[in-house]
Structure 1
Amino acid sequence: MYLTVYHRLLHTRPRFILLAVTIVALVACAPSPRLTVLQGQKMGTSFQVKIVSSHLSDQRTFELRLSVERVLDDVDRKMSTYRDDSEVSRFNKLRNDEPLLVSNETFEVFRHARSISEETKGAFDITVEPLVDAWGFGPGGAISRRSKRSLPTENEIDAIRSHLGWQLIDLDEEEITLSKRNSSVKCDLSAIAKGYAVDRVADTLNDMGIDDYLVELGGEIRASGSNEEGVSWRVAVERPQSVTRQSHRLLPLRNLALATSGNYRNFYEQDGRRYSHTIDPRTGRPVRDRLASVSVLDTLCVRADAYATALMVLGEVEGFRFAVGNNLMAMFLIRDESGVLIEKTTPMFDEKFETR
């Protein structure tokens, strides 16, 4: 019996050796993953798409770039307030209760905005545009001329606020129409549209059979699969400072989106006070808080984008409480009285990145 077993093993061994040699040969001949970078300017900012693939031809690369640019152009054409013919600009011109038939894409962004406005009790509000303009930011603002004109008065702020509110927008789910209860209501999707555009690009890449990629548009990011080294993508969270760009922390990102909101670049000073571009819809004034920036991670960039803005408005204490209570992955960067930067992260963030 022992001889029989030995005989079978002896005669079977060359097959195993042959199989092993074949596998090694296949691995050796397989093309290694290659990084392809698509970049340019869209939606008033820069974009970059990194794709890892071992079989991406020039023609395929051209098709991918064309698809990416079409998606970004489509979102811009429908949602930009800088375009008079966009669906959002047309909405802003509506009379009371006049329905506007919009695309599924625009309707979806309005639906996301309404959901997060409800959750944050108005800290996130896409009708804040008139206040943004009044303080010198936005398409109708005059930040470049701010030193030559006075700040809005309390009466002016109250008058503007009386015509604001996400609750004044009605969404008809069956007809896919938008309407408003006050003709003075105007919307600005700048705090959510870039995140949505990133998701649209990611969905397009998925549909085209691309599994490993990183999409970045104006600082909003979504990553899938692995980088060219076969590990998670490494994404830097910027250190909040207005002069030079430095990394505060590198995060490994795989199948997640990241959005950061901060007050350290877009601001002006007058009479010894700093006024940031983040406006609190509840008070009508620029936020004043020790909070320098907030980074939020989510499976969808559209949500991460909106939540990051909402948490900036809510501030260091209320914002962190909301993030913890709603199981958000968030990192708060706070400046103390001496200017030292303090990092504060939620339990969900700690669990994901094992920071504790």
Structure 2
Amino acid sequence: MKTFTEHDSLQRYSLAGSTMGTRYTAVLYAASGFDSSAVTTDLQQAVDKVDQQMSTWKPDSELMRLNGADCGQWLAVSDELIWVLSSALLISKESEGAFEIGVGALVSACGFGPQAPSLNLPGRQAGAGDVLEIDPDNSRVRKHAPITLDLNGIAKGFAVDQLARCLDRHAIESYLVGIDGEMRASGVKADSRDWCVALEKPIKGRREVLGSLELSNTSIATSGDYRHWRERDGVVFSHTMDPKTGAPLASDLASVSVLCTSCMYADAWATALLVQGLERGRLMAKAQGLSAIFVVRDGAELREVTVGL
């Protein structure tokens, strides 16, 4: 394949498709005559594959087969699921349990899964790291106790990384790919300027821009309480779960955005830092060498606190 350079006449292409209940987007620069249909097909296949591996909304996904497997039963799974599960357990350990994929029962009880909400919260449960055994050499995994896994805090970021890998295979050097607020940028635009992305205000029910960031060869992911939430009898339930309390997260910290090379890691760490709260989250971001933006509700005002930027 040809590698496009600054000496070629570059044109802007905008591609998109459906995935994970929302849409992916890919904006890229390539030479005139670029076959966008072939790349669109590959991009769609990439996100469809992740959805089939890690969705909690598809009863036949690899993740749901694992959730339904008997304890002690080895289950053969894809290398991609092995990688995401292993990464999730590592980040859980590094975040002192703030990032936890074993909260599927809690997520469902609060109405953020395919089942009807029960609000019968299961309480604090064992972490996935205590229950899950991963055998990467043989691409298999098993549970040693009942647990319901949920990868919604990491799978979308992984899917963005897969979109990026797809464009890399097509020798495209300048692009911005994203799924909702999870985005990954490569290179610069045709005018040699970095990619510019908006940071959203964490306001329920409407979308406003808080600020903007310039990205090149990096990813950004945001976790917050303003996009997905439920209200019942005047009580608001966040879609982010606090593993330490076994209940939806309740905090003045409205959102956290994390920047790092991998969108998967940015996605998971944004959740972890949100769960930790501002003070512990700031210390943890510094200890991990992460760049992060914390947005705190201070009465009716929003206050930004940055680390590593």
Residue 317 of structure 1 aligns with an amino acid whose one-letter code is E
Deviations 1:206-262 (A, max 9, x none): 111100000011221000011232210001111111132111111110000000010
Residue in 2 aligned with 1:51?
A: 28
Residue in 2 aligned with 1:22?
A: none
Instruction: Answer yes or no: is 1:266 the counterpart of 2:228.
Output: yes
User: What's the CA shift for 1:163?
Assistant: 5.4
On the 8 A contact 1:132/1:141 being kept in 2, the answer is: no
Distance change in 2, residues 1:266/1:61 (3 Å): same
Residue 82 of structure 1 aligns with an amino acid whose one-letter code is W
Rounded Cα–Cα distance in structure 2 between residues aligned with 1:112 and 1:164: 14
Distance change in 2, residues 1:50/1:169 (3 Å): same
**Which structure has more strand as a fraction of its residues?**
2
Instruction: Work out which of the residue numbers 97, 106, 113 in structure 1 matches 2:72.
Output: 97
In structure 2, runs of 5+ residues without a counterpart are: 1-5
On the 8 A contact 1:233/1:253 being kept in 2, the answer is: yes
Rounded Cα–Cα distance in structure 2 between residues aligned with 1:238 and 1:229: 25
Q: Which runs of structure 2 are paired with 1:1-356 in the superposition (5 Å)?
A: 32-57=9-34, 60-142=35-117, 151-152=119-120, 157-158=122-123, 161-162=124-125, 164-182=127-145, 184-336=146-298, 338-346=299-307, 348-349=308-309
On the 8 A contact 2:11/2:29 being kept in 1, the answer is: yes
Q: Which has the higher contact order (CA 8 A, sep 6+)?
A: 2
Residue 256 of structure 2 aligns with an amino acid whose one-letter code is V
Deviations 1:23-52 (A, max 9, x none): xxxx9xx66321100012112111110011
**Greater radius of gyration (CA):** 1
Rounded Cα–Cα distance in structure 2 between residues aligned with 1:310 and 1:106: 20
Deviations 1:174-204 (A, max 9, x none): 212111111x211111111111111111111
Rounded Cα–Cα distance in structure 1 between residues aligned with 2:296 and 2:12: 36
Residue 208 of structure 2 aligns with an amino acid whose one-letter code is Q
Residue 121 of structure 1 aligns with an amino acid whose one-letter code is E
User: What's the CA shift for 1:137?
Assistant: 1.9
Rounded Cα–Cα distance in structure 2 between residues aligned with 1:175 and 1:201: 26
Secondary structure, aligned partner of 1:187: coil
Rounded Cα–Cα distance in structure 1 between residues aligned with 2:114 and 2:205: 25
Secondary structure, aligned partner of 1:288: coil
Rounded Cα–Cα distance in structure 1 between residues aligned with 2:116 and 2:98: 21
Rounded Cα–Cα distance in structure 2 between residues aligned with 1:127 and 1:141: 19
Rounded Cα–Cα distance in structure 2 between residues aligned with 1:126 and 1:56: 44
On the 8 A contact 1:120/1:310 being kept in 2, the answer is: yes
Rounded Cα–Cα distance in structure 1 between residues aligned with 2:142 and 2:99: 19
Residue in 1 aligned with 2:3?
A: none
Aligned length: 304
**Which structure has more helix as a fraction of its residues?**
1
Residue 139 of structure 2 aligns with an amino acid whose one-letter code is I
On the 8 A contact 1:295/1:332 being kept in 2, the answer is: yes
Distance change in 2, residues 1:307/1:162 (3 Å): closer
Secondary structure, aligned partner of 1:121: coil
Residue in 2 aligned with 1:10?
A: none
User: What's the CA shift for 1:115?
Assistant: 0.7
Distance change in 2, residues 1:283/1:113 (3 Å): same
Deviations 1:318-349 (A, max 9, x none): 1111111211100000011x221110001x22
Residue 52 of structure 2 aligns with an amino acid whose one-letter code is R
On the 8 A contact 1:122/1:166 being kept in 2, the answer is: no
Query: Normalization by structure 1: what TM-score?
Result: 0.82
Deviations 1:271-299 (A, max 9, x none): 54432111101110111111010000010
On the 8 A contact 1:219/1:259 being kept in 2, the answer is: yes
